[in-house]
Amino acid sequence: MQRLYVMILLCAGVVFFSLYNIYKSSTISELQYMQHKYHVHQMPLLDDTKQMALQIIAGAIDKNLSLALSNDIINPLSRHHFTDNETNALRKPDSTIIPRLLDSVPGHRMRNFRAPTSDVSPSDRNDDEWDIGADRCQVTPGDFVYKTVNATNVLVPFWQRKLNRCHSLGRPVNGTWKYQLVELLQVRIYSDDKAKWTIRELKQWIHYMFLAGVEHIFICDHYKNESERLDVPLKRYIARRLVTYLPWSVVRNPMQAQIKCYQHIIDNYKQHTTWQIAVDMDEYPYSPNDGREGFIVRYLRNVTARYGARISEISINNFLMLGQGDRKRDVVIDRIDRMTPKPANYLSKPLYRPERVRANVHHNRILFGAHLTANDNEMRMLHYWGARVQNWGPDTNRTLAITIPMHGMRDMWANQVRQSLLAFEEYDAFSSETGP
């Protein structure tokens, strides 16, 4: 009899406990089910049900479900956890409330947030040939994100937003990084340089190249003295997978060292990228007809569409940017505004598929495939000699005679470079005293 009494009490306790938990945590159970359904069960279980709901939305987005989230996701979550305005916003394809809501989710980063593809024009999307098999880490080029710097709103460029979300400008493929376009640079920064190139101008150039569409930069540092090394001033770029730094001081002949640098990168990193470009820090690729971020990649996409994949190397003609310019301006491309009207010489620079060439400086040796010289109206190289032809003195009549005004870089890119530097907290990358 006593045993029966104990069993009845135990059964009653189990029933009571079960009913109590159903009553107390029916919402949590519902959310736990959806956590499992949308593969966010690996996240920590939160006590706050709204944060759990946000985790589920995060999981749905990470699985690349549309931002116009279906009713089987929204309805259960919105019943107790979102206001009517929030629920309506979540149902809109152009919703911007999701990132703001997800900011409150502990430990979640919006690494895979992207707008519906129907809202992104084909020219702005990154779904070209290089994206096959790549990860889904995307941000929307059309979004505008601002950062407050010294009480001023600074536009954060697309490449920085992608970096902040994806932790690289490349894509993880088979345990490594795959890039659309990388830059190869050999450089030496030293105090006796007559052109007065410094780390400030190097950072200006780096930001321009990322704005142009480069996703990674390999730097062969041709320093002569240890005090000239660039790994410390560039440590943020190295740490954030923007720059691969290679000490390159053994071979002292600059031309020989440069060729060895290029070939070393081709040999060891060609599998990581589809295209490479090799220009110096005083050389700026430029498209007269495209002032939007990523213009080099769009140009390569158009070349591929026009000629197929047979193009192995593209030569970009060399236009000189000459004169002192307005020395009150503190960005090189804002200051120097006179250009030779035609290519100055045959010393062009290459865009190329690395697995198809052997390295040289101006024209690689093509192993197979075809060569193309870029139409100057589509792509050219602006070579910032500055006051070099006037022995670093004031502008001369000869300089004025062989050049024409050229304001395209100033108008299209100077402010973008400035805002990119400020958004990246490079507050000391400006100078009107240094540079050519």
What string of DSSP letters covers 152-188?
EEEEPPHHHHHHHHHSSSSEEETTEEEEEEEEEEEE-
Higher pLDDT, 169 or 55: 169
pLDDT of residue 158: 93
Mean pLDDT of 248-277: 95
- In which residue are the tokens 């690395």 written? 354
Query: What's the N-to-C CA distance of the chain in angstroms?
Result: 102
Q: What whole-number percentage of the chain has pLDDT above 90?
A: 60
pLDDT of residue 50: 56
Nearest to 79 by CA among 110, 56, 45: 56
Cβ neighbours of residue 401 under 8 Å, at least 6 residues apart? none
Mean pLDDT of 200-205: 98
pLDDT of residue 256: 96
- CATH topology for 146-423? Spore Coat Polysaccharide Biosynthesis Protein SpsA; Chain A (3.90.550)
Where are the chain's structural domains? 2-102, 146-423
pLDDT of residue 226: 94
Q: How confident is the model at residue 372 (pLDDT cuts 50, 70, 90)?
A: very high
Asked if the model's pLDDT at residue 380 lies above 70, the reply is yes
Asked if the model's pLDDT at residue 33 lies above 70, the reply is no
Q: Report the SS3 class of residue 88.
A: helix
253-265 tens-digit pLDDT:
999 999 999 999 9
Asked if the model's pLDDT at residue 217 lies above 60, the reply is yes
Asked if the model's pLDDT at residue 241 lies above 70, the reply is yes
Q: For the chain, how long is the longest CA-to-CA vector?
A: 118
pLDDT of residue 73: 55
The answer to whether the CB of 115 falls within 8 A of the CB of 67 is yes
Mean pLDDT of 114-119: 30
pLDDT of residue 194: 92
| Whole-angstrom distance, CA of residue 414 vs CA of residue 126 | 24
Mean pLDDT of 145-157: 87
Q: How confident is the model at residue 322 (pLDDT cuts 50, 70, 90)?
A: very high
Q: How confident is the model at residue 138 (pLDDT cuts 50, 70, 90)?
A: low
pLDDT of residue 24: 42
58-103 tens-digit pLDDT:
555 444 444 344 555 555 555 545 566 666 655 553 344 454 454 4
Asked if the model's pLDDT at residue 390 lies above 80, the reply is yes
pLDDT of residue 143: 62
Asked if the model's pLDDT at residue 325 lies above 80, the reply is yes
Q: How confident is the model at residue 14 (pLDDT cuts 50, 70, 90)?
A: low
